[in-house]
Amino acid sequence: MQILAEVVGTYFLIFAGSASVAVNTDFDKVVTPPGISIVWGLAAMVLIYSVGHISGAHFNPAVTIASAICKGFSWKQVPAYVAAQVLGSTLAAGTLRLLFSGKQYHFVGTVPSGSDMQSFVMEFIITFYLMPISGGSMNPARTLGPAIVWSQYKGIWIYMVAPILGAACGAWVYNMVRYTDNPLREIIKSASCFKATTRI
CATH of the domain at 192: 1.20.1080.10
Rounded to whole angstroms, the Cα distance separating 25 from 35 reads 12
Query: What pLDDT sits at residue 183?
Result: 64
C-alpha torsion sign, points 88, 90, 94, 100: positive
Which is more confidently placed, 149 or 174?
149
Question: Which pLDDT tens digit goes with each residue over 47-89?
Answer: 999 999 999 999 999 999 999 998 889 999 999 999 999 999 9
Query: Among 91-100, 126-135, 141-150, 171-180, which stretch is predicted with the lowest mean pLDDT?
Result: 126-135
Q: CA of 84: how far to CAs of 24, 47, 58, 90, 150, in Å?
A: 28, 15, 11, 10, 19
Measure the CA angle with vertex 15, ends 12 and 21; round to 5°: 145
pTM here? 0.81
Across the range 95-102, mean pLDDT stands at 89
Q: State percent of the chain over pLDDT 90.
A: 60
Is the pLDDT at 40 greater than 80, yes or no?
yes
Q: What is residue 194's predicted lDDT score, i.e. its pLDDT?
A: 39
Number of H helices, E strands in the chain: 8, 0
Q: Are residues 3 and 77 in contact, defined by beta-carbon separation less than 8 angstroms?
A: no
Report CA torsion sign: 23, 24, 26, 29.
Answer: positive
Count Cα atoms within 13 angstroms, Cβ side, for 45.
Answer: 6
Q: Summarize the chain as % helix, strand, coil (round to 5).
A: 75, 0, 25
Q: What is the mean pLDDT of the chain?
A: 86
pLDDT on residue 195: 43
How far apart, in whole angstroms, are the C-alpha atoms of residue 92 and residue 133?
Answer: 27
Helix/strand/coil for 105: coil
* Close Cβ partners of 102 (under 8 Å, ≥ 6 residues apart): none
Minimal CA–CA distance to 110: which of 156, 149, 63?
A: 156
Question: How many domains would you assign to the chain?
Answer: 1
**Which residues form the domain of 173?**
2-199
Can you tell me the distance from the alpha carbon of 146 to that of 97, in angstroms, rounded to the nearest whole number? 9
Any idea which of 76-85, 131-140, 178-187 has the lowest mean pLDDT? 178-187
